[in-house]
Structure 1
Amino acid sequence: MALDLSGEMTQGGWIRGQLPIGTVQADLGGTVISFDADRQFFAAFDRDAGPRTFLSVSLQNGSHLAQEISVSPRAWNIEQVDASPTANVPSEAFMARRKPELERIAAARQVESGSQGWRQNFVWPATGRISGRFGSQRVYRGEPGSYHSGIDIAGGTGTSYVAPADGVVVLAAESPFTLEGNLLIIDHGMGLSSAFLHSSELLVHTGEAVKQGQLIGRIGATGRATGPHLHWGLVWRGARLDPLLFTGPMP
């Protein structure tokens, strides 16, 4: 029985679909999928997803279904650098500050708000020059550095940005995080969340429901940033996703 799926079946992409009647559990490559009363679901593919995965479904009658999904590869912007990595080993003092921040981020991404934003066609939170693309990476004398986990939109400090889809605020930093600065995370439901980094000001608060297109923050350069810009990242249950595959080209 083939499932009717739609979306972007590529690295950093996503799918939506409907599970069979009688579904009691489903997973994508071992990651559990949530679904609603009508068995509608959302799932996604990490930037480094392999060429194929399986959507597995367990039914009430005890039977199991598995559908193979081909995940097309992407040609990432990989820059070879003839130098050693410049990042320093984090100090104990830095890690002491960083550990509770990472715990707050992880906890925020575990929140199941019940938002229906995952159903929507996402809009750009801001427009401007794209100064950093998802998935780009530097390799230092054969040693890969961390890839860019979102998309950067250049803009002047104080430039407003909006919610790309409906959601619930699950983290709104009261003070700047070490790396992310004034960090905002919005849950769109089904395990999908948006993160907005380096803001000069946040205009919403934890627990607040937001609507697509609502003003939620202002661009800045807080945290570790070389200049004012909005870093927008999307995550589904730990998988890093490409915002361009949710919005299409910038208008």
Structure 2
Amino acid sequence: MNKKRSRIVSSVLLVAGFVLYFLVNEPQTGHAMHIMEGYLPFGWAMFWWGLFLPFFVIGLRSIRKVIVQHPEVKLLVGVAGAFAFVLSALKIPSVTGSSSHPTGTGLGSILFGPFAMSVLGSMVLLFQALLLAHGGLTTLGANAVSMAVVGPLVAYGIYRLISSANGGKRLAVFAAAATANLATYVTTSLQLALAFPAETGGVMASFAKFAGIFAVTQIPLAICEGLLTVLVWNWLQAYNAKELVQLRLLKQEESL
């Protein structure tokens, strides 16, 4: 009965997320967080693709292991992917003329580990590039490194650090989601700075400029994403307790 109720609530949550997305995103010229198609020089675009692909392969193995050993968590995998898609598709205008976005990768990183999110996050970015014109295909590697690799790695590390220090699960979830968001933007700023160094001050000056542009809206947005992720985590604890226990056991086995 609990499992059936969980599926119903998951479906309602997903539908509500899509409704919210289409309500607040009327057709307009996009200035997305994701680096747009053709913006990076070819050499840098290929470099980030090469850096991303090994993480994608490791992530495929990670997800396969989780699903084979615990097929009952398939629904949670879908929820984590949908959560990332809906949140990261929201475009929030910045005072600088660009846009800021939630990322939604913290939740999946906590549930399945950072490498699984390299697959889920890249699939999210691919669908957004094809369906919503966010990001692009040549820049997919760069966007995946920032949102699907670095963000989840930071989220998982923060979560484990606070949890091991007995800082409380909710605090750990909040900090993981918020720092994953910020780490994604720091990485994006670095990617842009490396590709377009300033004439005066070089890469560091360019990085400070890009990071400053994003920080105005991104810091409060990261806090909001952390709070929302805590709410979703509480819901998962209430309706998917058995599946979460299975995931914890699997992570304990991997650490031995």
Tell me the TM-score range normalised by the shorter chain. Answer: 0.3 to 0.5
Q: Mark the structure with the bigger radius of gyration.
A: 1
Instruction: Please identify which structure carries the higher helix content.
Output: 2
| TM-score, normalised via structure 2 length | 0.33
Give the TM-score normalised by the residue count of structure 1: 0.33
Structure (1/2) with the larger strand percentage: 1
